[in-house]
Every structure is written in C-alpha cells, then in structure tokens.
Amino acid sequence: MPADPETVEQPRHPLHASTTYELANYRRQLERAIAFFDTKNPLPPARGDLQARLDRVIAEQEDRTKLAAHA
C-alpha cells in the first residue's frame, strides 16, 4: 500500500482479472485517498478520477456478488 494517501497505483491486472482480495485492497486505498481529498478546500481535480475508479471497483464487486448468488 502506498505511504502517501494521495497516491493510489493502478492495479497490476484489469479489474475483471483481479482477485477478490486485490479488489478489496484497491477499494480501501481509493476510499482512503478520497477521504483525504475531501478534507481539502477546494477539492483537487484528482478526486473526481479517484471516485470514478472507485465506482468501477464497486461495480465489479457487485457483479461478482450477483454471479455468486446465481451459482
């Protein structure tokens, strides 16, 4: 995990190829970085990019949950 909350590295694999653990870890990093940026006034432009990335992670996790429920 990066030491700086402003830095969230892209995952090694595309989201669909990431393990459940990797997705959860990436989500935590994004949530921490967003929470850090939310304390800044004005909000840095990078916050929007982080939110979009978080939205994609959440969508992937929800898709996996739906697939597991129908398995």
Residue 7 within any structural domain of the chain: no
Q: What is the pTM of this model?
A: 0.85
The number of helices, as runs of H, and strands, as runs of E, in the chain is 2, 0
Question: Residues of the chain with pLDDT > 70: what percent?
Answer: 92
Tell me what pLDDT residue 20 has: 94
Mean pLDDT of all residues belonging to the chain = 90
The number of distinct structural domains making up the chain is 1
Q: Which domain holds residue 61?
A: 17-69
Residue 1 within any structural domain of the chain: no
Q: For 43-56, what is each residue's pLDDT tens digit?
A: 888 899 999 999 99
21, 38 in Cβ contact below 8 A? Answer: no
Residue 33 within any structural domain of the chain: yes
Run of H or E including 50:
helix 46-69
Tell me what pLDDT residue 71 has: 76
Residue 3 within any structural domain of the chain: no
The pLDDT of 48-69, averaged and rounded, is 96
